[in-house]
């Protein structure tokens, strides 16, 4: 009987070793997979073609969300995010803007919209004044 107990104990220890090796192997494989995935994601983020395409897709998605709330011009929007609303508080257009709000600027239609994604609401909309006086002044100076 003592011989059978000794064999059982050795078998259990052998099973435990195998189980530990399998678990460690699975953990290593999972970590390797995660690291590979992260590496590929970072490489894609650094690729300018991917970031430009992603930015365009994000802008189109944002425009579609805002278009559900109001009629928008039929052109691509330039998107900006309000980073520091206090700096903009002196401008009437941005008086109700908060950090994180998105500004959609339609240059051809000369319109801008402030959209708050967190509340899915339009904060403000109005005309855009595109100041080309500085570029005209530079051209005048260059021609002299």
Task: Express each pLDDT in 109-137 by its tens digit.
Answer: 999 999 999 999 999 999 987 665 544 33
Task: Give the residue ranges of DSSP H helices in the chain.
Answer: 2-46, 48-67, 85-88, 133-143
Give 92 or 53, the one with higher predicted confidence: 92
Of the listed ranges 46-55, 67-76, 81-90, the least confidently predicted one is 46-55
The answer on pLDDT for 71 being more than 60 is yes
Specify the pairing of strand 102-106 against strand 78-81.
Answer: antiparallel
Task: Express each pLDDT in 15-52 by its tens digit.
Answer: 889 999 999 999 999 999 999 999 988 887 777 776 77
Q: Phi first, then psi: what are they for 70, rounded to 5°?
A: -155, 160
Q: Is the dihedral of CA 36, 42, 47, 52 positive or negative?
A: positive
Percentage above 90 pLDDT, the chain: 51
What local confidence, expressed as pLDDT, does residue 83 receive? 93
What local confidence, expressed as pLDDT, does residue 134 receive? 43
- Against a cut of 0.85, is the pTM above it? no
Rounded-to-integer distance, Cα 116 and Cα 124, Å: 10
Do 144 and 133 contact (CB within 8 A), yes or no? no
Give 42 or 103, the one with higher predicted confidence: 103
Specify the pairing of strand 78-81 against strand 121-127.
Answer: unpaired
């Amino acid at each position: 009987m003592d011989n059978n107990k000794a064999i059982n104990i050795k078998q259990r220890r052998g099973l435990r070793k195998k189980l530990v090796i399998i678990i460690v192997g699975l953990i290593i494989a999972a970590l390797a997979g995660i690291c590979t995935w992260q590496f590929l994601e970072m490489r894609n983020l650094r690729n300018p073609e991917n970031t430009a395409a992603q930015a365009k897709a994000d802008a189109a998605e944002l425009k579609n969300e805002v278009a559900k709330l109001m009629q928008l011009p039929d052109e691509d929007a330039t998107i900006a995010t309000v980073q520091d609303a206090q700096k903009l508080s002196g401008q009437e257009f941005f008086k109700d803007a908060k950090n994180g709000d998105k500004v959609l600027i339609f240059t051809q239609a000369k319109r801008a919209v402030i959209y708050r994604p967190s509340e899915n609401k339009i904060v403000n909309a109005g005309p855009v004044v595109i100041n080309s006086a500085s570029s005209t002044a530079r051209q005048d100076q260059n021609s002299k």
